[in-house]
Amino acid sequence: MANVTLRNVRKTYTGGFEAIKGVNVDVADGQFCVLVGPSGCGKSTLLRMVAGLETVTGGEIDIGGRVVNQIEPADRDIAMVFQNYALYPHMSVYNNMAYGLRNRGMAEAEIKTRVEEAARVLELSAMLERKPRQLSGGQRQRVAMGRAIVRQPKVFLFDEPLSNLDAKLRISMRVEIRKLQRRLNVTSIYVTHDQLEAMTLADILVVMNGGQVEQVGNPLAIYEKPATTFVASFIGAPPMNLMSTRPDEIKSQLGGSATDAGIVGIRPEDFAITDQTPAGGVALPLTVEAIERVGAETFVYGSRQHEDQRVAATPGELPPGEIIVRIPGTEAPAIGAKIRVAAVRQKLHLFSGDGRTRIEA
């Protein structure tokens, strides 16, 4: 096992396009690190740099105390699982898992021991003689993981390994991946664009945007205290409601250090449907535009009314816009109904006008 440290890592392509802009991340020995962000943010490029599949323009990549910038992928002691299973169709499951070890000249007895142990862990023992075409998508992905496990590397790298699976199978497979990583206790770096997948898998979450790291930390800590409006809107489903408001309004409504804020954020679950305006909090008059019932909870989509349509203003109300409210159960107001929702002061998130700085009140 080993820690992975990225020090001011940069990647610039011919023509001057800077895909990675000075990334610093420290993944401790045995941690599960998830790189998450929208398409094009640089997360897969960064993972490929750790793997040695992309050259490093600047900075250092350290694996287990060794800078690997100039070391070939095969000599970095890592194993990678791709989005594409990349299994040999003419080989059995056993031979797919054994292939890399044979290329390294390992004794057949040791290969047999490793493959059978990996198959047992991944519940593939009964499938070792099957060909990939005889397997489901989830089983093929487990074979690809088994091929990585038998190498017993210092670091596992996962590049969106569940993207080709259906929604139900993705859920079960991410649970299996997390259980497996904990059992093996191997340092792992995992790339995904799915923020729910990232939140459920990660020990340490790295939120990326435009080739840069927006925030690093414990997933729940990031959810509860996003550092920027990008993180606030990307982490969480539905996303945080973000409302631009003038500094003088913030000052009069909220007071304290809120005088420096230009944006207020409120999570959908932190709203309540009520006629009351909490002291120091905010209240919004809404017209219900849509309802989504998703089982144990319901999402209410509302539009804030314009001044000539809204009910009498009360202290703490914010300007017009679109709002999502999450409420428990299946009961919800009718579409077209006019309601008022409110959030207490402790549930508000304040940001600078450009969204780049969190303000603690």
Lowest mean pLDDT among 60-69, 83-92, 266-275: 83-92
Higher local confidence (pLDDT), 261 or 39 = 39
Q: What CATH number is given to the structural domain containing 94?
A: 3.40.50.300
Rg from Cα positions in the chain:
25
Among the candidates 204, 232, 260, a domain finishes at 232
Q: What CATH number is given to the structural domain containing 294?
A: 2.40.50.140
249 and 153 belong to one structural domain: no
> In terms of Cα–Cα distance, which of 156, 210, 159 is closest to 185?
156
Query: Mind listing the pLDDT tens digit for each residue in 36-58?
Result: 999 999 999 999 999 999 999 99
> Are 245 and 318 in contact, with CB atoms under 8 Å apart?
yes
Is 0.75 topped by the overall pTM?
A: yes
115 and 255 belong to one structural domain: no
Distance between CA 97 and CA 103 in Å, rounded?
12
CA distances for 104 relative to 74, 117, 226, angstroms: 10, 19, 46
- Classify each residue of 35-74 as buried b or exposed e, where b means 16 or more C-beta atoms within 10 Å of its C-beta: bbbeeebbbbbbbbbbbbebebeebebbbbeeebeeeeee
168 and 293 belong to one structural domain: no
Q: Which are the contacts of 194, defined by CB distance < 8 A and separation ≥ 6?
A: 36, 170
330 and 295 belong to one structural domain: yes
71 and 102 belong to one structural domain: yes
Query: How many structural domains compose the chain?
Result: 2
Q: H or E stretch including 103?
A: helix 93-103
Quote the DSSP letter at residue 39. Answer: T
Distance between CA 294 and CA 44 in Å, rounded?
32
Higher local confidence (pLDDT), 250 or 1 = 1
159 and 181 belong to one structural domain: yes
Task: Quickly state the pLDDT bin for 315 (edges 50, 70, 90).
Answer: very low
158 and 250 belong to one structural domain: no
Domain of 353, in residue numbers:
238-359
200 and 243 belong to one structural domain: no
> Are 83 and 164 in contact, with CB atoms under 8 Å apart?
yes
CA distances for 36 relative to 61, 107, 196, 331, angstroms: 19, 39, 10, 34
330 and 285 belong to one structural domain: yes
223 and 247 belong to one structural domain: no
Tokens representing 190?
């995992």
Distance between CA 192 and CA 38 in Å, rounded?
9
Query: Mind listing the pLDDT tens digit for each residue in 219-242?
Result: 999 999 999 999 999 999 889 998
Among the candidates 186, 207, 232, a domain finishes at 232
Distance between CA 58 and CA 49 in Å, rounded?
11
Q: Which are the contacts of 312, defined by CB distance < 8 A and separation ≥ 6?
A: none
Among the candidates 177, 198, 232, a domain finishes at 232
> In terms of Cα–Cα distance, which of 238, 332, 319 is closest to 285?
319
266 and 158 belong to one structural domain: no
Task: Report the interhelical angle of 108-121 vs 137-149 (nearest 10°).
Answer: 130
167 and 254 belong to one structural domain: no
Query: Mind listing the pLDDT tens digit for each residue in 193-216?
Result: 999 999 999 999 999 999 999 999
Distance between CA 357 and CA 15 in Å, rounded?
32
Distance between CA 98 and CA 111 in Å, rounded?
6
Query: Mind listing the pLDDT tens digit for each residue in 93-150?
Result: 999 999 989 988 999 999 999 999 999 888 899 999 999 999 988 889 889 989 989 9
